[in-house]
Amino acid sequence: MTSKIWGGRFKSATDAVLEAINVSIDFDKRLGLQDVRGSLAHVAMLGETGIVSRDDAAKIADGLERVKAEIENERFHFSRALEDIHMNVESRLAELIGPAAGRLHTARSRNDQVATDFRLYIRDQIDALDVELADLQLALATRARDEAASVMPGFTHLQSAQPVTLGHHLLAYVEMIARDRGRLRDARARLNECPLGAAALAGTSFPIDRAMTAHALGFDRPTANSLDSVSDRDFVLETLSAAAICATHLSRFAEEIVLWTTPQFGFIALSDKFTTGSSIMPQKRNPDAAELARGKSGRVIGALVALLVVMKGLPLAYSKDMQEDKEGAFDALDTLSLCIAAIAGMVRDMRVDRARMKAAAGAGYATATDLADWLVRALSLPFREAHHVTGRIVALAEARGVGLEDLTLEEMRSVEPRINADVCDVLGVEKSVQSRRSFGGTAPDNVRAAAQVWFDRLKDK
């Protein structure tokens, strides 16, 4: 027999390298409070069902409360020799209350224990992320309201396409984040079943009450199949997948911040609070926070892919491979939370150069579609023909090195004689955005109304 909790049938100690590869306390100590919470629910049930005497159950619960306080006050000593968080908590409990501690693990295994702890942890993280994402949406919606009529170039292929407003652009991200929050909510709803009581893999011969523990831990119900309960990590995968999509959205916005703060674009500027300098080039103002929000999306996506690979070949039920579910998930969710805060900070901080954006909006013949649409409306040209006529007018302007609105009526008429002075109404960028009143379009009135809806929805949350 060795000193390990599981050492009964072992004769000699484990090799140091086994200890090194096996130990998880360095990271799973983050599950300390969830582990105690699960154990409190378990022991209450053991006492209630008479599996453990009420006396012992009370003693254990008492000891667990003390462990909890030690963890909360950072007085708990985590020992690497005890492998993981479950052994650490149980062994500290034994130090505190003596042999009664040995009854806590009745009708339970570390396999259902860790699955329960991790579900509790992920659930807490999802709830925290939801609040942080709502705050980011509020930051975006607030700026969108102010910039509802601020014209900027809209791009496709990163080429000037049609003018839009900055408010419209910011609200696009509000919509993406709304779906990110929805995906996290969906993951939460599906993960909210309690694996505790599945034991090692087959259930238990003790008359446990799984509904009681599920209820005590805020789960909707116990999981239905004991094998599935201890084998599955799709709740982590689903959460990481939602997190990876969200990180990808943030990364795209971060990329736009990087572009827009360049002297070449100059659409926005970040204050010193969100800017770093260069050690050699005195003039530099670097948007490091945006670059890192973009770069760190790689870690979130990586965590998802890594866990998919870990899981894909595992036969049922538990395998120790599954201990690899935690570090990536911890890191990914921490990283996402940090990126959300950084982006929200930059959204609140950025100064918008409306004149510069407006000037850029007119470049690249961005109102050519407006001209084509006018030819359809005023002259009843089929759109394909209007497209062609407009293309020739654009070529003419390009040859002269001027914008569409700088061409004379005569020059336009040299391409299409029926064009009249009314055309001037549609060639400016402001007119262009004002005309896009279709549902979901970029017209300032639309944007103002949409921003207000979001603002009202978010402000008191």
What are the catalytic residues? 157, 278
Quick one: which of 374, 368, 425 has its CA closest to 392?
A: 368
Residues, the chain, total?
461
Maximum alpha-carbon separation in the chain? 101
CB neighbours of 46 closer than 8 A, spacing ≥ 6? 52, 57, 103, 104, 106, 107, 208
Q: Closest separation between CB of residue 234 and ligand ARG, Å? A: 15
Instruction: Report helix, strand or coil for 206.
Output: coil
Residue 160 phi, psi (nearest 5): -50, 125
- Tell me the C-alpha distance between 143 and 437, whole Å: 21
- Tell me the C-alpha distance between 55 and 105, whole Å: 16
Q: Closest separation between CB of residue 219 and ligand ARG, Å? A: 19
DSSP H or E run through 370: helix 368-379
CB crowding 69-91: b at 16 or more within 10 Å, else e: ebbeeeebebeeebbbbbbbbbb
> Which CB, 22 or 286, lies closer to ligand ARG?
22
> Which CB, 318 or 365, lies closer to ligand ARG?
318
Q: Closest separation between CB of residue 187 and ligand ARG, Å? A: 20
Q: Closest separation between CB of residue 226 and ligand ARG, Å? A: 14
> Which CB, 102 or 391, lies closer to ligand ARG?
102
Q: Closest separation between CB of residue 115 and ligand ARG, Å? A: 8
Contacting residues toward ligand ARG, per CB under 6 A: 24, 28, 84, 110-111, 114, 318, 320, 322-323
Distances in Å between the Cα of 125 and the Cα atoms of 175, 233, 274, 280 are 21, 16, 26, 41
Q: Closest separation between CB of residue 129 and ligand ARG, Å? A: 22
C-beta separation of 285 from 275 below 8 A: yes
> Which CB, 322 or 458, lies closer to ligand ARG?
322
> Which CB, 152 or 322, lies closer to ligand ARG?
322
Q: Which amino acid appears at position 168 of this protein?
A: H
Residue 381 phi, psi (nearest 5): -70, 145
> Which CB, 207 or 315, lies closer to ligand ARG?
315
- Tell me the C-alpha distance between 231 and 239, whole Å: 17
